[in-house]
Amino acid sequence: MAMEHQTQILLVMIGYMTLLILWGLYQGRKVKNNADYAIAGRDLPGWVAALSERATGESSWALLGLPGAAYATGLAEIWTAVGCVAGIITAWAAIAWRLRDEAEKHDVNTFTEFIAAKHSDFGKKIRAVGSMAIVFFFFLYVGAQFLGGGKTLHSMFGIDPKIGMLLTAAIIVPYTIYGGFRSVVYTDVVQAIVMIVTLVVGPIVGIIFIAGNPAIFAQSIPEALTKAGADYSSISGAASGFGAGIVIMSGFSWFFGYLGGQPQLSTRFMAIKNSRQAKQGRNVGIAWTVVAYIGALSIGWIGIAIFGPNGLQDQEYVMPRVILEIFPPAVAGVLITGAIAAMVSTADSLLILSATELSENIIKPALKSKAEKAGSALTRSRIVTALLAVIALLLAYIFPSKLIFTLVSYVWAGIGGTFSVVILLTLFWKRFHGRAVLVTIITGLLFTILWSVTGMEAKITSRIMTFLVSGAAAVIATYALPGKGAARPSH
């Protein structure tokens, strides 16, 4: 990248991030108690919850990961998009409003507190086991986001990755500590708008750019996929029979993680103000998703047209490279800043989720104080958030990035697959009880780690296997073990 381009992009980025921090701190002024800090007082407008949930759920995945995968594999990546979009539509249409209604009914502030309230016979154990599982995995996830921020800043500006990690933390940690969930959600809204602009404007300008540029690899997306070879132009990656089935199933398996089991997404559903707003959120969330996924795939395929199938060393940088190629530096700066900001939006969401789970479900019960002043509870939450941020940053420095990213790969399956089963059965199966919840959580997490460690992940993804094994464990435990009380269905 030319020096003048770097300078323009850096100035845009500094301006954008400064405004983001100030916006986050401004929203934090409205936080008066722990419910505000943990779940924005369950008072979010539907469109705010939807944009926040989408920015958190997609983040660097929609802007770096998915375009990179589309660049590397061509048309076969459609199955991943289909799985994700189907999962998100199902979550907003069938789960979001139910979770919102139940959170209000039981007056709960955190994800595991909701599960514990629905299965009060084993509530304390569920809170302890569920929170510890979430905090462990998500904690490392925060470290991975810091690493991702450092890697991106290094690739764009040559900044030492360790300094880049510190800068990433310095952007998000102050407003997250101060304003908690409320600050995080409202900064997410800004990220979601920048992300969707990038994913709409980028492909439109990209298609015009390649059509009028005979010097590049191809002048259209279909031509690019055809010229790149059969692997790229086939929706099964040129596989056939059982192999094609594995390709399709592996992509579609992302569906199972979206069914209520991602705590950082489900908390947004729980925070919506009322049922009418939940419908508005559903419409905004689904529309954003469909448009974003079409845009993300298109950017990857436009990358093939511009650079050819082997033109990039790191496929995950196809989005920044395409944007820099087709836009003036100042415009490219805003859009690429959106990619870095998207990573940031995931890090702050995971940080506040881990902090409130730890503070509300592990530390608060351990204190055994019945009456706690609102101010002291809020202070405790802020201190826990600050400590978690520091420890996550230290972990990212100490442990090799390969180890952290391997652990993060467990999150989607281990947390998403396992807790999706717990949430679905809690909402829809009257007989499901507290003992079965504990068995499901422990089985799902242990199975994911064992499946990945033994190398089975390479054969069939744990994203589908964890969901199936957790589901089987849940059903068997429900019938085999006695349950004192059972969850009542929401409707």
For the segment 32-77, what is each residue's pLDDT rounded down to a tens digit?
Answer: 999 999 999 999 999 999 999 999 988 777 888 899 999 999 998 9
- C-alpha distances (whole Å) from 421 to each of 62, 257, 426 are 25, 9, 8
Contacts of 91 (CB under 8 A, 6+ apart): 258, 259, 260, 265, 269
What amino acid occupies position 160? D
448 part of a folded domain: no
470 part of a folded domain: no
pLDDT in tens, 107-151: 999 999 999 999 998 999 999 999 999 998 887 788 888 887 887
The domain that contains 82 carries what CATH number?
1.20.1730.10
242 part of a folded domain: no
Q: How far is Cα 313 from Cα 310, in angstroms, rounded to an integer?
A: 8
Q: How far is Cα 485 from Cα 389, in angstroms, rounded to an integer?
A: 38
DSSP 272: B
Q: How far is Cα 133 from Cα 441, in angstroms, rounded to an integer?
A: 9
182 part of a folded domain: yes
Give residue 359's domain range: 3-236+262-409
- C-alpha distances (whole Å) from 286 to each of 53, 60, 71, 197, 482 are 11, 19, 25, 16, 40
250 part of a folded domain: no
Residue 486: the pLDDT is 47
Contact 191, 345 (CB under 8 A): yes
Q: How far is Cα 461 from Cα 57, in angstroms, rounded to an integer?
A: 20
Mean pLDDT highest for which of 133-137, 154-158, 275-279? Answer: 275-279
Number of C-beta neighbours around residue 472 at 10 A: 13
Average pLDDT over all residues of the chain: 89
Percent of the chain, pLDDT > 70?
93
pLDDT in tens, 162-189: 898 899 899 889 999 999 999 999 999 9
Q: How far is Cα 301 from Cα 276, in angstroms, rounded to an integer?
A: 39
- Separation of CA 129 from chain center: 22
Residue 239: the pLDDT is 63
127 part of a folded domain: yes
Residue 370: the pLDDT is 59
Q: How many domains does the chain divide into?
A: 1
131 part of a folded domain: yes
Q: Give start and end residues of each alpha helix (H) in 29-63.
A: 34-39, 46-60
Query: Minimal CA–CA distance to 380: which of 110, 177, 132?
Result: 177
55 part of a folded domain: yes
